[in-house]
Structure 1
Amino acid sequence: MPKPIYVLSGPNLNLLGSREPDIYGHQTLDDVRALCEARAAALGHAIVFRQSNHEGELVDWIQEAREAACALVLNPAAYGHTSIAILDALKMLNVPVVECHLSNPAARESFRRKTYVSLAATGVVSGFGANSYVLAVEAAAGLAHSS
């Protein structure tokens, strides 16, 4: 089996299902994990699925992915708009990076329309709720096979 796809989620995503469900939906992070695991398995991949509210922990996991992952899906949440540390960690990766968002940042407040993660991402999937993660895993698997 190939190296796993890392699926990392940033701050406040542990509260999916109860946090602003009109924006982020009613599915929990455990629901998202199950969807990702099922899609990855159908594509012949395992995933490493993690969430943290701590920027440094996300940086550590991105660095870990340098050697351990075949691709990375990252929902940086608010850190996408603020974290140069995450951008710098992503720029050191030699695997495809798919940025993922539940909502469509371009349709929200102006400060959400730019992410530092996009500067290092191979592609972006946004606006499809929990299905954004599934589409991002599918894209990551396809990119991993072509690299």
Structure 2
Amino acid sequence: MNTLMKKRFLVLNGPNLNMLGSREPGIYGSLTLADIERACRGKAATLGVEIDFFQSNHEGELVERIQAALNVVDWIIINPAAYTHTSVAIRDALLAVNIPVIEVHLSNIHRREPFRHHSYVSDIAEGVIAGLGADGYLFALEAGAGRLAACAAHENP
């Protein structure tokens, strides 16, 4: 990445997150995905980074979007949703592009059904934020931007 260019984040959202706001608000909250995107865009502007926001209910589309991020994106924030627990394909795509990733979940997956406790992404992620609702996305942006700034400062003392 060119250090003079604005840093770019990709925020990926998996299946059923397009239903936020009406889908089980007791678990996922009342904000819509559009609300979360607006908040992320506002936070990105204050951090001086660009973001692309993408949601799909289809595993292959998420894999293709991850692959398209190669040499374009500096950091990935992903809420794989149900694919967290099932998708080796998403894991392999993340490994293939070798872009730092933060995994985000609106709910605390470790306080839910046992099948939700395993993630195919967590062990390859720089960090995992779970159970803090939509704020988790904002915290992930702050953490990623902070890491990028620290790397840039180290490279250009």
TM-score of the superposed pair, with normalisation by structure 1: 0.96
Shift of 1:143: 2.3
Alignment gaps of 5+ in structure 1: none
Residue identity over aligned pairs, in percent, reads: 54
**Partner-residue secondary structure (3-state), 2:10:** strand
Say if 1:87 and 1:119, in contact at 8 Å, map to a contact too: no
Query: How large is the Cα RMSD of the aligned pairs?
Result: 1.1
- Partners in 1 of 2:45 and 2:70 — Cα distance? 21
Shift of 1:83: 0.3
1:6 lines up with 2:10 in the alignment: yes
Shift of 1:144: 2.6
- Partners in 1 of 2:52 and 2:148 — Cα distance? 15
- Partners in 2 of 1:57 and 1:77 — Cα distance? 14
Shift of 1:93: 2.5
- Partners in 2 of 1:108 and 1:146 — Cα distance? 35
Other-structure match for 1:34: 38
- Partners in 1 of 2:6 and 2:128 — Cα distance? 23
**Partner-residue secondary structure (3-state), 1:67:** coil
> Which range moved further: 65-74 or 13-22?
65-74
- Partners in 1 of 2:121 and 2:107 — Cα distance? 16
Task: Please list the CA deviations of residues 25-45 of structure 1 after superposition, one character each: whole Å capped at 9, or x if unmatched.
Answer: 000000000110111111100
Which of the two has higher C-alpha Rg? 2
> Which range moved further: 136-145 or 103-112?
136-145
Task: Please list the CA deviations of residues 91-133 of structure 1 after superposition, one character each: whole Å capped at 9, or x if unmatched.
Answer: 1233210000000001111011110011221110111111111
> Which range moved further: 60-69 or 101-110?
60-69
Say if 1:96 and 1:143, in contact at 8 Å, map to a contact too: no
**Pairing of 1:97-108 with structure 2 (within 5 A):** 97-108=101-112
Divergent runs of 4+, >4 A: none
Relative to structure 1, the CA distance from residue 96 to residue 145 in structure 2 (aligned partners, 3 Å threshold; closer, same or farther) is farther
Alignment gaps of 5+ in structure 2: 152-157
Shift of 1:146: 3.3
Aligned-partner residue type, residue 20 of structure 2: L
